């Protein structure tokens, strides 16, 4: 049986046109972030649906969340435009068993902050290279992932990261400027599972990286309710060596 995956993402190209970096964003994600994230699940047999601010009333409803096994969330410039009621609904559904994967700047997304109960602030700086190390090779999200992989360009996120202590720190990022960051963290909230994954700045094609896509697939299997996860098969297709 396939999983039902719902992907919420902002229109990064429209955001970039307002902020003057449209050329870089179009080059990285010409079809937008929805498509790039969804491409990670090609060949898995999952059902993937999309949600955005422009159609939130129709796509982020009690019914759509009840039908979903895992919700992926990427937000950045428009966190404040997400209605408080929608954020509270997501947090409620996660407590009831919905898997939730917060990507990159979704550390400041309203649903994630509700689930963490802290400010979720961190240090940051514009792009440089990042090496992502596997800190918990036993964790299902790290299945098939090499000991480390490199991202030639990524936005630097650095400690301190104001979050509760995680259940597991699956990945740790090291940046060429010397900073380190807890870049892959897991939590349980009620019946639901939460995974925060740091890579994914919109100016760099991070979601096209094969190891990042592997991690996104693994996260779906881990975060999905147990009854569905046990019935689901999806090839890991690990890379042969660190990229």
Q: Are 175 and 129 in contact (CB under 8 A)?
A: yes
pLDDT at position 195 is 98
The two three-digit tokens of residue 164, written as one number:
């509760």
Is 236 a residue whose pLDDT tops 80? Answer: no
pLDDT at position 104 is 96
Return d(Cα 134, Cα 142) in angstroms, integer: 7
Is 114 a residue whose pLDDT tops 60? Answer: yes
Percentage of the chain with pLDDT > 70?
93
Instruction: For the chain, give the mean pLDDT.
Output: 91
Return d(Cα 49, Cα 64) in angstroms, integer: 9
Is 85 a residue whose pLDDT tops 70? Answer: yes
Q: List, in order of start, the domains of the chain with CATH numbers.
A: 4-121+181-229 (3.40.50.880)
CA distances 158 to 74, 134, 155, Å, are 19, 17, 10
Least-confidence region, from 17-31, 48-62, 65-79, 85-99: 17-31
Burial class (CB in 10 A: 0-12, 13-18, 19+), 58: exposed
Express each pLDDT in 145-171 by its tens digit.
999 999 999 999 999 999 999 999 999
Tell me the three-class secondary structure of 172-223, residue by residue.
EEEECCCCEEEEEEEEEECCEEEEEECCCCCCCCHHHCHHHHHHHHHHHHHH
Return d(Cα 214, Cα 164) in angstroms, integer: 26
pLDDT at position 226 is 76
Task: Give 230's pLDDT tier (boundaries 50, 70, 90).
Answer: very low
Q: Are 27 and 94 in contact (CB under 8 A)?
A: no
Is 237 a residue whose pLDDT tops 80? Answer: no
pLDDT at position 35 is 95
pLDDT at position 227 is 59
Provide the β-strand partners of residue 188.
193
Return d(Cα 52, Cα 56) in angstroms, integer: 6
Positions of E strands within the chain? 4-9, 47-51, 70-74, 99-103, 123-134, 148-158, 168-175, 180-189, 192-197
Is 16 a residue whose pLDDT tops 90? Answer: no
Least-confidence region, from 2-6, 100-104, 114-118, 227-231: 227-231
CB atoms within 10 A of CB 84: 9
Express each pLDDT in 177-222 by its tens digit.
899 999 999 999 999 999 999 999 988 999 999 999 999 999 999 9
The more confidently predicted of residues 27 and 14 is 27
Return d(Cα 1, Cα 86) in angstroms, integer: 29
């Amino acid at each position: 049986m396939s999983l039902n995956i719902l992907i919420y993402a902002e229109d990064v190209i429209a955001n970039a046109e307002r902020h003057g970096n449209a050329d870089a964003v179009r080059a990285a994600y010409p079809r937008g972030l929805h498509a790039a994230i969804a491409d990670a699940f090609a060949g898995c047999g999952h059902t993937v649906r999309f949600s955005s601010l422009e159609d939130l009333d129709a796509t982020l409803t009690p019914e759509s969340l009840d039908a979903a096994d895992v919700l992926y969330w990427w937000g950045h410039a428009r966190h404040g435009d997400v209605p408080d009621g929608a954020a509270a609904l997501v947090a409620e559904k996660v407590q009831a068993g919905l898997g939730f994967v917060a990507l990159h700047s979704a550390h400041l997304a309203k649903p994630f902050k509700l689930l963490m109960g802290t400010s979720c602030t961190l240090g940051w700086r514009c792009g440089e290279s990042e090496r992502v190390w596997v800190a918990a090779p036993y964790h299902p999200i790290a299945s098939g992932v090499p000991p480390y992989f490199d991202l030639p360009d990524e936005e630097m996120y650095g400690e301190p990261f104001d979050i509760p202590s995680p259940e597991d720190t699956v990945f740790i990022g090291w940046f060429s400027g010397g900073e380190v960051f807890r870049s892959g963290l897991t939590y349980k909230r009620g019946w639901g599972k939460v995974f925060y994954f740091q890579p994914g700045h919109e100016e760099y094609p991070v979601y096209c990286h094969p190891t990042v896509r592997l991690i996104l697939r693994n996260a779906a299997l881990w975060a999905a309710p147990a009854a569905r996860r046990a019935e689901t098969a999806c090839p890991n297709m690990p890379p042969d060596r660190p990229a």
